[in-house]
Amino acid sequence: DAPLAHNLLRARLHTLDQFRTLQDMLDKGMTEEEIAAAYLTTVQVVKQRLRLNAVSPVLRDAYAEERMTLDMLMAFTVNPDHQCQEQVWEAVQHSYNRQPWHIRQLLTETTVPASDKRARFVGLDAYVAAGGAVLHDLFEEDDGGWLADPALLHRLVSEKLKTVADGIASEGWKWVEASLSFPYGHEHGPRALVGVAGDLTEEERATREALREEYDRLEAEYGDADELPDEIDARLGEIEQALDAFDQRRATYDPADIAIAGVF
């Protein structure tokens, strides 16, 4: 297979032929890692080429006939649905805006960004475990991708909200109202209770201080880097979440107030 790959590169096959060749190698049992080694490239490049080969034949034909640029073809890979791809291609052909970013926007307009607060509340792992699909862009930074099933996400958010509300209700509050959103001014009229923030234990203070020191050390160590290594970026995110948890500790309230008051 290595001599074959070498000959294919020397022959300078049309880009689409290269895509199909990689797919043939995969279909014959080679792994993406083996294909990458044969072409002296990275697994990420192989994944990208295979994704390009998987777009709708209508788009591949348009690209072969030079009615579409490679950057445009890359943009179409963000959503694997061929019907959706073809609908967007039909739309952009008659539009003044055929930029790749616009194509990506059209292909993800019915999805929910992974950075959305609802997605973060449920968590991507829980969403995927429930059968939800996540769209990823292999050619551009996608900030975690897009959740392709908004209805499933809505159900998961509602279920988790109810669980959280039930937990709060068990503290003895007279009423609890949980919703994805409330109308403007819903809190007007009732008097807001002022709780008392709980004190940190010595162990918690030590943990918080250690996290701050680790965060400062990593920031200083990688402050001049153009791009953070994935594991460092992930660790900084974990530390930020842990520190936020300390800052957002729930307050405690007078039991007499709890008995006659409620929670939104």
Summarised one tens digit per residue, pLDDT across range 214-253 is: 999 998 888 888 888 888 888 998 999 888 887 777 788 8
For 249, which DSSP code?
A: P
Integer angstrom CA distances of residue 1 from 14, 28, 31: 19, 11, 12
- pTM, to two decimals: 0.68
User: For 23, what's the count of Cα atoms within 13 Å in the CB-facing half-sphere?
Assistant: 14
Summarised one tens digit per residue, pLDDT across range 38-57 is: 888 888 888 988 999 999 99
Evaluate the CA torsion angle 123, 126, 132, 133 in order and state its sign.
Answer: positive
80, 153, 142, 139: which is closest to 115 by C-alpha? 142
Summarised one tens digit per residue, pLDDT across range 102-118 is: 999 999 999 999 999 99
Summarised one tens digit per residue, pLDDT across range 141-186 is: 888 899 999 999 999 999 999 999 999 999 999 999 998 888 998 8
CA dihedral 10, 11, 17, 21 (to 10 degrees): -50
10/193: higher pLDDT: 193
190, 184, 178, 199: which is closest to 250 by C-alpha? 199
Round to whole Å and give the CA distance between 5 and 214.
Answer: 46
Phi-psi region of 104 (alpha: psi -120 to 50; beta: other; left: phi over 0): alpha
Round to whole Å and give the CA distance between 138 and 141.
Answer: 8
